[in-house]
A and B are shown apart, each in its own frame.
Chain A
Amino acid sequence: MSRRVGLEASHAAAEAAKMANVDVIAAYPITPQTHIPERLAEMVADGELNAAYIPVESEHSAMSTCLGAAAVGARTFTATAGPGLEYMHNVLYVASAMRLPVVMTVANRALSAPLSIWGDHSDAMSVRDTGWIQVFCQNSQEAFDMTLWAFRVGEDPTILLPVMVHFDGFHLTHVTEPVILPEQEKVDRFLPNFHYPFALDPDKPMTLGAFAPPDIYSEAKVAQEMVIRKSKAVIIQVFKEFGDIFGRYYHPVEPYQTQGSKTLLLTMGSFSETAKTVIDMKKDRGESVGLINLRLWRPFPFEELRRAVKDAETLIVFDRCISFGGPGGPVSSEIRSALYSEKEKPKVVSLVGGLGGRDMSAKDFEYVIDRGREVAEKGSEELYETVGIRDKVSGIRG
């Protein structure tokens, strides 16, 4: 029997790692991710989970340990947040380039300074180009589902890539919500044992992570690029298989009330749920608005996004990160570039908010939609605007 229990996203992700029967966990505690490794350490100590829990002295070591574990063919899990993700930054590239399918949950946190332990997407955006498959979650159930799904996608023998599962620090990591935990039998059916074809073996010596002179590095990078692009088909297939077994179907781009809507709002992570409430309110008042929840961040779902927005007049992209001196919110600039050569496309308005744990209420999202529409109607060439700040800054242009 499946069980419906109250869990915060942190514990939901830990449950998923446990049900995935991970072999190795190496993690360094950092707010707001702490509950994930704490819970897993407890499971290992109590004998609930037969895994090696390796305490490490830093996030750089955590990820390095995960690489070593994955290289011997262990199913490997870790978790981090904000500055911890930055501290392991260079090792992230090694995991993807060496095709080691580590799964990592990231409790999204702002970056210092000023010191902030609260949530935004600055950490996630800084690791955009590390070659990891990346998805965002809206709630605790998704934190469970995406973590489980991540093992299956990453370990697919045609893919073998690490996967990052993002969920918002505090808004999800520390909020208890109902989560359906499936039967172990179903999990085992969805997620077979991991067989790494290049596992280190003394009887079959191989060199992993070798040096590459200029005459081979480019080829190695192109091979990596081609596999992550190819992974989208597997991602979609595994979303379907997940749905067929567990009854919850996910998609790279998830439209909500978009049919015939002139204005669309695009959000990622937990804020999508608040935004949906606002869409419902506005729809009731007869406004032509819809929402797009962008679940898959890497590989970027170009086709799916274009299809979802092609009939809209305005697309308001809400970012939780500033690209300093750059083209606006990082998500909005990607979307602008994804739509650039399309004949039929909405006007893209970039609004930034929810930085460093600043709450975004339903009322704030009402403002986001109204302001976005206003900017689009004025035909403003503004790059972006930060919402909800005192003494508003307007007119930032490129």
Chain B
Amino acid sequence: MTEKRLKTGSDFTWRNLEVGNVITETGNAALRRTGDWRTQRPVTDVEKCNKCGLCWLHCPDAAIKPLKDGYYESDLFYCKGCGICAKVCPKGAITMIEEKEE
């Protein structure tokens, strides 16, 4: 099975766009990297985390995944760095740190 790739503008000319710009391959939002314009990223201090899951509940992009050990992890492919998880964390376990080019 070939890996699904998100089509971008350069895949199209005006001639091969679908009529009315209809997208016939649906469910492709998961392929879109929404985390590429993040300026801050959440970092969790597991010493403080009590596994309450509020960060996971509040994340507007469903970018926080539960781990097997009960802790939570941000998926930086999708995380836009909004900081809601840090704000709602009752233990202050999440810190937003500046995103720097590596």
Chain B positions 26-40 with a Cβ under 8 Å from a chain A Cβ: 26-27
- For B4-18 the 0/1 string (1 means CB < 8 A from A) is 000011101111011
B8: which of A97, A207, A210, A215 is its contact (CB, 8 Å)? Answer: A215
Chain A positions 219-236 with a Cβ under 8 Å from a chain B Cβ: 219-220, 222-223, 226
Number of A-B residue pairs at CB separation under 8 A? 54
Tell me whether A212 and B21 are in contact (CB under 8 A): yes
**Main SS of chain B's interface residues?**
loop
Residues of A within 8 A of B18 (CB): 198
Q: Is A197 an interface residue (CB 8 A)?
A: yes
Tell me whether B24 and A219 are in contact (CB under 8 A): no
**Main SS of chain A's interface residues?**
loop
Tell me whether A207 and B9 are in contact (CB under 8 A): no
A198: which of B13, B14, B17, B20 is its contact (CB, 8 Å)? Answer: B20
Residue ranges of A at the interface with B (Cβ–Cβ < 8 Å): 97-100, 160, 197-198, 205-210, 212-216, 219-220, 222-223, 226
For B, the interface residue count at a CB cutoff of 8 angstroms equals 17
Tell me whether B14 and A223 are in contact (CB under 8 A): yes
Tell me whether A206 and B20 are in contact (CB under 8 A): no
Residues of B within 8 A of A206 (CB): 22-24, 26
- The answer for the CA separation of A97 and B18 in the assembled complex, in Å, is 11
Residue ranges of B at the interface with A (Cβ–Cβ < 8 Å): 8-10, 12-15, 17-24, 26-27
Residues of B within 8 A of A223 (CB): 14-15, 17, 21
Tell me whether A220 and B17 are in contact (CB under 8 A): yes
- The answer for the CA separation of A210 and B17 in the assembled complex, in Å, is 13
- List 5 A-B pairs, Cβ < 8 Å: A198-B19, A209-B21, A210-B21, A220-B14, A223-B14
Residues of B within 8 A of A220 (CB): 14, 17, 21
- The answer for the CA separation of A219 and B17 in the assembled complex, in Å, is 8
Q: Counting chain B CB atoms within 10 Å of each CB, which of A160, A212, A222, A223 scores highest?
A: A223
In the complex formed, the residue of B with least CB distance to A227 is B19
Tell me whether A160 and B20 are in contact (CB under 8 A): yes
In the complex formed, the residue of B with least CB distance to A71 is B20
Residues of B within 8 A of A99 (CB): 19-20
Residues of B within 8 A of A215 (CB): 8-10
Q: Counting chain B CB atoms within 10 Å of each CB, which of A99, A208, A214, A216 scores highest?
A: A216
Residues of A within 8 A of B17 (CB): 216, 219-220, 223
Tell me whether B20 and A207 are in contact (CB under 8 A): no
- The answer for the CA separation of A210 and B14 in the assembled complex, in Å, is 16
Residues of B within 8 A of A207 (CB): 22-23, 26
A282 vs chain B, min Cβ distance (A): 48
- The answer for the CA separation of A53 and B27 in the assembled complex, in Å, is 34
- Which 7 A-B pairs give the minimum distances between C-beta atoms? A215-B9, A99-B20, A207-B23, A216-B9, A222-B14, A223-B14, A219-B14
Tell me whether B20 and A100 are in contact (CB under 8 A): yes
- The answer for the CA separation of A212 and B14 in the assembled complex, in Å, is 13
B8 vs chain A, min Cβ distance (A): 7
Tell me whether A219 and B9 are in contact (CB under 8 A): yes
Residues of A within 8 A of B22 (CB): 198, 206-208
